[in-house]
């Protein structure tokens, strides 16, 4: 049982690190994209943010199947946003 608690501790720590990284990237994207809405750097940062968001949701869905019902519509919404953003 100790190994299960140890694994849960590792997963919580990884989720916390992913969340902090995501929040830092969002802050950077919002700060950079305000004055420079059409630059290549902003475009790259937005792509990285979307990739990070999707990977966080996939991580959450993989390790907590009970919440997969909530995660799948959010992933679908993110994919729709990706398509509409990159097609214009």
Least confident of 25-29, 31-35, 75-79: 31-35
Decide if pLDDT at 10 tops 60. Answer: yes
Q: What are the CA-CA distances from residue 30 to residues 6, 16, 55 (Å)?
A: 36, 21, 20
Q: What is the CA radius of gyration of the chain?
A: 16
Decide if pLDDT at 11 tops 70. Answer: yes
The whole-model pTM stands at 0.39
State residue 37's pLDDT score: 59
Decide if pLDDT at 52 tops 60. Answer: yes
Q: Which residue has the higher pLDDT, 39 or 10?
A: 10
């Amino acid at each position: 049982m100790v190994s299960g608690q140890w694994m849960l501790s590792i997963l919580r720590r990884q989720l916390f690190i992913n969340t902090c990284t995501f929040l830092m990237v969002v802050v950077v994207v919002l700060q950079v994209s305000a004055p420079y809405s059409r630059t290549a750097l902003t475009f790259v940062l937005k792509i990285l943010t979307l990739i990070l968001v999707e990977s966080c949701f996939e991580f959450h869905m993989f390790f907590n199947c009970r919440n997969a019902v909530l995660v799948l519509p959010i992933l679908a919404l993110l994919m729709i946003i990706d398509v509409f953003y990159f097609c214009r």
